[in-house]
Structure 1
Amino acid sequence: MTLNTQRDSKETLRRRASTPIPSSHQSGPRQKDGPADPHHPPLGQSASYHPGDKTILSRVNWSSDSEDSDSSGADCLYRVVLLGDHGVGKSSLANIFAGIQEKDANEHIGEDTHERTLTVDGEETTLIVMDTWETEKQEEDEKWVQDYCMQVGNAYVIVYSITDRSSFESASELRIQLRRIRQAENIPIILVGNKSDLVRCREVAVEEGRACAVVFDCKFIETSASLHHNVNELFEGIVRQIRLRRDSKETNERRRSIYKRKESITKKARRFLDRLVAKNNKKMALKVRSKSCHDLSVL
């Protein structure tokens, strides 16, 4: 994955330090029967979108039901929301995405929203990663902030620590909440087991993470923010998962062919045999599905 420092030669990279708070939340809860909140940006638009901003509107326009869009060469912008318990490594993953070095992390405390343009499979996509799930505000404020996070993401990363079983259980609950709130939407959700380098302290096995992903119909990957292991693969996978839901079958097949060229012959052969056996064996089909849950290049 390439993290570009510029969108093009004329426009420099931007980093958003915080997510704007809709004014309706500041003055109290929204009326149930009232009009839609004009400050709540629709899916596929920047968190900093304001009504009438035709520049953002023209750049960002994604519906998961679209079958005819082709993003080749397009400048696409999507929000990725990090969810999970305190201390699981959400901010560390966000800082790596933002290119913030560990030694400089203290200087960036309070910067909870970051924007980067990624080049994946030869095409550019801009992600806004939101690490706004936890707040230092009062409990009432935290509740509506979390409700807001559940509604505005184009993709979700649910993080738990492999050294903390309670965080794994919380991750399962978050997946259930997302299914309830966004049940009619085909949004990418990736379950992430962080701190994979702490082998001796492991409380959640890899197989448990995969099984959870299969049950809750999401993707799975283990990372180590401290070693930068699989972090690039995670954000590349998010881009691929968004594209798979957004673009036409033909466009995705072309991208898939590019991705497959990079695979080893052994991996290709193993995948072919797994699919062949799974056709006549339901148990094997479930096993294959469990294996594919960590392949972020397929649905």
Structure 2
Amino acid sequence: MTSEYMNTYDASLDDEFGEKSVSVLLDGEESELIFIDHPSTEMSVENCLSTYEPHACLVVYSVVARGSFIRAGELLSYLVREQFTADRTVVLVGNKADLARARQVTTNEGKALATTKESKFIETSSGIQHNVDELLVGILKQIRLKENREKKQAKKVGKQEPKPSKLASSRTHISLSIARELLQKICINDISKSKSCENLHVL
């Protein structure tokens, strides 16, 4: 969690409560990320989520230990079932990416799991500080994007639907509406192709 890049730095360390914090500067605004790291022997994932109500979850596995990858899949399935992924950030993290010769889990397997479990994906190496900064900034970006989306949705709910005009029932208007819907579907499909599970800067 220490870093030399992207204006991040280790702010505090509290081993007693399993909480660590780091300050991250993103788009000119500084935020403090607090990581809650309880071993599953001390506190279950269910209890951790209900106790802390986190904005995001990082599910970390080791690319050199397939067992940890299987466990990560189980945790992601739980988060999907509990609908945590619907409005919260979940990032699947494959750590120890520098240990290429001992690798048991491929990058493509990690991506595939993340995609099927509505999560983002990144591989890191805490040992050589590979992608650690990108992960920290990406978590914050995802949290902000989801919060902004929720605010926009809340505004939409507050607005009343306008009354249909006389034009709305005409054939021309109906044809235009169908054309617009088709165009939107095409555009949405193109956009979704560009939104990779590895891009932590888009939803």
Q: TM-score with structure 1 length normalisation?
A: 0.49
Distance 1:155 1:250, change over 3 A: closer
Once the two structures are superposed, the pairs formed by residues 1-299 of structure 1 within 5 Å of their partners are: 1-3=6-8, 14-19=12-17, 112-135=18-41, 142=42, 144-151=43-50, 152-183=53-84, 185-247=86-148, 279=186, 288=193, 292-299=196-203
AA in 2 matched with 1:296: L
1:175-234 per-residue CA deviation (whole Å, 9 max, x = no partner) reads 111122344851000000111111111111111111111111110000011111001100
CA distance in 1, matches of 2:138, 2:84: 22
1:131-174 per-residue CA deviation (whole Å, 9 max, x = no partner) reads 11344xxxxxx3x5433223322100001111111211111100
1:22-61 per-residue CA deviation (whole Å, 9 max, x = no partner) reads xxxxxxxxxxxxxxxxxxxxxxxxxxxxxxxxxxxxxxxx
Residue 61 of structure 2 contacts residue 94 of structure 2 at CA under 8 Å; is this kept in 1?
yes
Distance 1:173 1:184, change over 3 A: closer
Residues matched between the structures, number? 163
Larger radius of gyration: 2
Unmatched runs of 5 consecutive residues or more in structure 1: 6-12, 20-111, 136-141, 252-277
CA distance in 2, matches of 1:170, 1:184: 17
CA distance in 2, matches of 1:119, 1:285: 28
AA in 2 matched with 1:113: E
AA in 1 matched with 2:49: M
Distance 1:183 1:128, change over 3 A: closer
Distance 1:184 1:120, change over 3 A: closer
CA distance in 1, matches of 2:85, 2:141: 21
Higher normalized strand content (fraction of residues) = 2
Report deviation, 1:4: 5.1
CA distance in 1, matches of 2:76, 2:85: 14
AA in 2 matched with 1:150: L
Indicate the RMSD between aligned Cα atoms, in angstroms: 2.9
Residue 56 of structure 2 contacts residue 89 of structure 2 at CA under 8 Å; is this kept in 1?
yes
Residue 162 of structure 1 contacts residue 195 of structure 1 at CA under 8 Å; is this kept in 2?
yes
Q: TM-score with structure 2 length normalisation?
A: 0.70
Report deviation, 1:17: 3.4
AA in 1 matched with 2:88: I
SS, match of residue 91 in structure 2: strand
Residue 150 of structure 1 contacts residue 178 of structure 1 at CA under 8 Å; is this kept in 2?
no
Residue 58 of structure 2 contacts residue 92 of structure 2 at CA under 8 Å; is this kept in 1?
yes
Higher normalized helix content (fraction of residues) = 2
CA distance in 1, matches of 2:128, 2:150: 36
CA distance in 2, matches of 1:114, 1:296: 22
